[in-house]
Structure 1
Amino acid sequence: MKFLYLLIFVCPLFLSCKHKTENKSQDPEPTYNDLESGLLPAVIVGDSILQNHTISEAMETYNVPGVSLALFKDGDIVWTSQYGTIAKDSAQPITSTTKFQAASISKAITALGVLKLVETYNLDLDTDINTYLKSWKAESEFTESKKVTIRQLLNHTSGATVQGFHGYSNVGITPSLLDIVNGKGNSAKVEISTVPGTQFSYSGGGYAILQMLVQDVTGNDFESYFQEVVFSPLKMTHSTFNQFPKDNIALGHDDSGKMHPEGHLIFPELSAAGLWTTPTDLAKFSIAIANSYKGKPNSFISQDLATQMLTVTKVWGLGVGVRGEGDTAFFFHAGGNPGSYKSILINHYNKNTGIAVMTNAKQGNTLNDDILRSFSALFENSVFEPTYITPYELSEKETDALVGKYQLEEEDNYFLDVYSTDSNRIVLYDLNDGMKVTFVPVSKTEFIDVDNGGKSSFTIDSITNKVVKMNYGEGYVFKKVDE
């Protein structure tokens, strides 16, 4: 279920978790080995004894066949490590050059390439995008007073629709980018649905427009432009927007640990989801942004553009999320697709210190979170820390009030069952696909997901004193219904 997938991921066993490590640092090796052996849980309940676990143990728990990571510090890649195999039943190990699908991290790469385009061709971030587009126009009733701009497309405030893309079979014929934007693929037509610049709405469709921008301005195809202008200069030697890399690629696995029937999907929406790369190359990309931000000699883009890239408008920077202040400030992007691959990139850009992690399974998100908590502990930052909670002991009456069936508002056929356990837990059970999420109460109406720290709450009618609604995750509301 798409709602439960926001917070949990479930998976099976695989045969081995052998790993290869490359230590490029002058620091003692155990310093970085602590990262792989010091994974922390999302939630620590009460006086529970804290038990760290290893990456290999977490891979087995989440049934993630392969993991690759790169750690960088002060602008240098100091440590890389790889674990497992390219597929569950394969003997081929993940190596430092094994490519993964980066999914939405493609948008961050695209953003840097677009900023380089702006710099090279003297484009204006705040001019009507239609000034530069030849093959398609961003027009609707909402663009009469305000026009769509490059800046808005980069920071998801353009009003462009289509949040994400579904992928296509790698053995069939795929539609052209123009057909996709016009709704002739397996996704809706990309439209401008709000006044540009007025609100944040994450949009893969907006990045498809940027893909057309690159091609219309340069007269070159998107893949070739990035190979020549981004990957080669940054020495990202194992990165490509070619949807059919020739060798050494990790294959995707679903949440049960089963390999995708075709190994992977393809994404002609290259700018939004089509990148194949490695954590090492993502680290190089990330370091280049921070170096540009600091105005170092021979930086990839100007300090001014890099500063704009890391300036938040509404919610997002230009192609990346940005959080924190001073030494704790960091930019980031995550990626995940139906294939299924999950990745994360984070950089404390004032220190140019961060981590890139890539996995080849749907539950890789949960593993990535565990690794980020270990990274945060190792470098004593607050990017990702466990949630410490004091459980609330529900009375029998309070428990009975919560238990029952809940319907997603505005959806007639989407239901969750809520039931209790003997250990003071509440379980959300998806009646559509059998997925479950377990929550610990912190009050009689507020609950924390024991697996990832996600929050859920219940609304009690002040007159009847009965539970009437459940607020789940980020904005999903379920109303309690009669059995």
Structure 2
Amino acid sequence: MGAACTGVAFAATSNASNASNTSALDEKIARIEQGLSSSVVVKGAPDQKMRLEDRMRYHQVPAVSIAVVNNGQLEWARAYGVNLVGSSEHTTPDTLFQIASISKAVSAMAALHMVEQGKLQLDGDINKQLKSWQLPDNEFTQEHKVSLRQLLNHSGGVNVHGFHGYPEKQTVPSLLAVLDGEAPANSEPVRVEAIPGTEWRYSGGGYSIIQLLMTEVSKQDFPQLLQDVVFTPLDMRHSRFASRLPDEERSHAAAGHEVNGEAIEGLWHQYPELAAASMWSTASDLTKIIIEVQQSDAGTSNKILSSQMTKTMLTRGLGETGLGFFVEDKSDGSSGSSTNVSYTSFSHSGGIEGSRSLLFGYTKTGQGAVVLTNSDNGMALIEEIFTSIAAEYHWPDFKVTEKTAMAPDPVLNQKVAGEYQLFDQPAHVFTEADRLYLQCNVLGNKPLELHPEANASFFLTAPDATVRFETDAENKPTGFALLKGVNTYKAQRVN
């Protein structure tokens, strides 16, 4: 075992075929390891490339596992750090991570496989396929019923965005208890809260319904079903669905860590919501999902789905999702038309207690990557890693944007400094010299500099977001709006 950079041990695998190729690949990996960047940089600032080792330390992320697909195959995989903070157990490419909501994409592929077998119906009332439990009808389902398709693409109007999990020593509810929100479940009952098919609403609760449906129809428990349908055909030997990892495998798994850098109690939470959140895997194993989707879309493999079903899976419904993946059509611009769609990106991120992850791939180009971390702070680091990978492999996504920062306004900074509440969490805005900072656990536990770009409007570099302070008729701050992508989140001033 060597060292990628001083202080962080790594283990590696690659598909380089000779010494010359190995040397070139090592140089490529080194550029990625030393070329991390936030998605936004301040124009005119010194070189802002960062080293992976330094960013792991900064974000307090003990372990990272990276695997890159190029030319339709796994090109390389490396793991960095340790499985548990303070330990000497080095992370390897075979270390298991909880991959959280990436589970949904894998579960969706298995569900669509059952559709192609004629065992499940993609459209029509889901209740007509369920046996031991029914999704209660209400005022939203009088004319339109929830279908499997809508559950897969989050358009069924179903609630329960995500799940909290259960600490090691806590009683874990049955799936039926989760669906009805009955003790000891710590989530709401899974119910319809909007007319099916009228709006996009991300729902882990919907995937719990899918889990029940798949097990009832197949007459198999969910882990064995996914083993048969996905893991065995794709030779994913380091993947499994489990609410709690068996004792004999726990020493080979990366423990979860909180935003303060400490290991979570019991090292992992348990998730009976298997389809939605409870897959364990490695970055290398997950690249087999990327490659199979790419090959199936191209019509060269049908280990799980036909080419036509894969194309259906990668077609957007409402919002940004297909049937399991977040998808975006791309154009290579060869015809000079912005509507010349030539390939599609497909992805899914994951975030549960102590774990953050991202799977991302393209059809037709044979490119993609998986990055897994064992920390609640992991997503900021993941975005920095993907920015470096994308630059090295010339991807059209994860590009760095330069923004111009205005001169600081000390008077404005002092006026907006104070205590706010964002997502029911405290958000602290404070000054340091002539600079303004935002600190909020929702965005990680590190102070984030607010760079002025217009009157009372500031930009962040990581994450890529804008903060706009709001005032009342007397010009006193009342809150701020956090703008990230197409979403706007409101924070209220509390002092």
Q: Is the 8 Å Cα contact of residues 326 and 350 (structure 1) preserved in structure 2? A: no
Deviations 1:77-129 (A, max 9, x none): 01011111211122222122111001111111111111111111353311111
Q: Is the 8 Å Cα contact of residues 154 and 202 (structure 2) preserved in structure 1? A: yes
Aligned to 2:331: 326
- Corresponding position: 1:472 with 2:485: no
Change (3 A) 1:467 1:202: same
Q: Is the 8 Å Cα contact of residues 82 and 95 (structure 1) preserved in structure 2? A: yes
- Measure, in 1, the Cα distance between the counterparts of 2:434 and 2:409: 12
Q: Which of 72, 93, 101 in structure 1 is aligned with 2:98?
A: 101
Deviation at 1:40, TM superposition (A): 1.4
Deviation at 1:404, TM superposition (A): 4.2
Amino acid at match of 2:16: S
- Measure, in 2, the Cα distance between the counterparts of 1:115 and 1:145: 26
- Corresponding position: 1:178 with 2:176: yes
Change (3 A) 1:435 1:52: closer
Q: How many residues align?
A: 462
Q: What SS does the corresponding residue of 1:70 show, helix, strand or coil?
A: strand
- Measure, in 2, the Cα distance between the counterparts of 1:172 and 1:61: 32
- Measure, in 1, the Cα distance between the counterparts of 2:75 and 2:148: 35
Aligned to 2:308: 304
- Corresponding position: 1:211 with 2:211: yes
Deviation at 1:416, TM superposition (A): 4.0
Amino acid at match of 2:118: Y
Q: What SS does the corresponding residue of 1:325 show, helix, strand or coil?
A: strand
- 1:301-450 equivalence runs, <5 A: 301-315=305-319, 316-326=321-331, 329-338=344-353, 340-406=354-420, 416-427=427-438, 436-450=447-461
Q: TM-score, normalised by structure 2?
A: 0.87
Aligned to 2:195: 195
- Measure, in 1, the Cα distance between the counterparts of 2:109 and 2:407: 50
Change (3 A) 1:112 1:337: same
Q: What SS does the corresponding residue of 2:117 show, helix, strand or coil?
A: helix
Deviations 1:192-215 (A, max 9, x none): 111111111111100000000101
Runs (5+) with no aligned partner, structure 1:
1-14
Deviation at 1:347, TM superposition (A): 0.1
Identity %, equivalent residues = 32
Q: Is the 8 Å Cα contact of residues 344 and 356 (structure 1) preserved in structure 2? A: yes
Range 381-390 or range 193-202, more displaced: 381-390
Amino acid at match of 1:40: S
- Corresponding position: 1:281 with 2:295: no
Deviation at 1:417, TM superposition (A): 4.5
Amino acid at match of 2:165: G
Deviation at 1:291, TM superposition (A): 1.3
- Measure, in 2, the Cα distance between the counterparts of 1:287 and 1:172: 38
Change (3 A) 1:365 1:406: closer
Aligned to 1:237: 237
- Corresponding position: 1:22 with 2:13: yes
Range 345-354 or range 444-453, more displaced: 444-453
Q: Is the 8 Å Cα contact of residues 69 and 366 (structure 2) preserved in structure 1? A: yes
Aligned to 2:297: 293
Range 137-146 or range 371-380, more displaced: 137-146
Aligned to 1:133: 130
Amino acid at match of 2:256: G
Q: Is the 8 Å Cα contact of residues 479 and 490 (structure 2) preserved in structure 1? A: yes
Q: What SS does the corresponding residue of 2:190 show, helix, strand or coil?
A: coil
Change (3 A) 1:49 1:268: same
- Measure, in 1, the Cα distance between the counterparts of 2:145 and 2:202: 18
Q: Is the 8 Å Cα contact of residues 283 and 355 (structure 1) preserved in structure 2? A: yes
Q: TM-score, normalised by structure 1?
A: 0.89
Q: Is the 8 Å Cα contact of residues 448 and 455 (structure 1) preserved in structure 2? A: yes
Change (3 A) 1:84 1:455: same
Deviations 1:281-307 (A, max 9, x none): 110012111211111144421112111
- Measure, in 2, the Cα distance between the counterparts of 1:341 and 1:417: 24
- Measure, in 2, the Cα distance between the counterparts of 1:399 and 1:64: 31
Q: Is the 8 Å Cα contact of residues 233 and 303 (structure 2) preserved in structure 1? A: no
Aligned to 2:146: 148
Q: Which of 146, 150, 163 in structure 2 is aligned with 1:165?
A: 163
- Measure, in 1, the Cα distance between the counterparts of 2:266 and 2:426: 32
- Measure, in 2, the Cα distance between the counterparts of 1:480 and 1:95: 45
Aligned to 2:339: none
Q: Is the 8 Å Cα contact of residues 19 and 81 (structure 1) preserved in structure 2? A: yes
Aligned to 2:336: none
- Corresponding position: 1:111 with 2:111: no
- Measure, in 2, the Cα distance between the counterparts of 1:286 and 1:430: 32
Deviation at 1:169, TM superposition (A): 2.5
Amino acid at match of 1:336: G
Change (3 A) 1:109 1:434: closer
Range 84-93 or range 341-350, more displaced: 84-93
Aligned to 2:268: 264
- Measure, in 1, the Cα distance between the counterparts of 2:261 and 2:475: 44
Q: Is the 8 Å Cα contact of residues 34 and 51 (structure 2) preserved in structure 1? A: yes
Deviations 1:232-280 (A, max 9, x none): 0011111001222432111111112111221111111000111010111
Aligned to 2:74: 77
Runs (5+) with no aligned partner, structure 2:
1-5, 333-342
- Measure, in 2, the Cα distance between the counterparts of 1:369 and 1:174: 33
Q: Is the 8 Å Cα contact of residues 148 and 196 (structure 1) preserved in structure 2? A: yes
Deviations 1:419-469 (A, max 9, x none): 3332343445689x98743311111122112432221112356x6555544
Q: Is the 8 Å Cα contact of residues 86 and 92 (structure 1) preserved in structure 2? A: yes
Q: CA RMSD in A?
A: 2.4
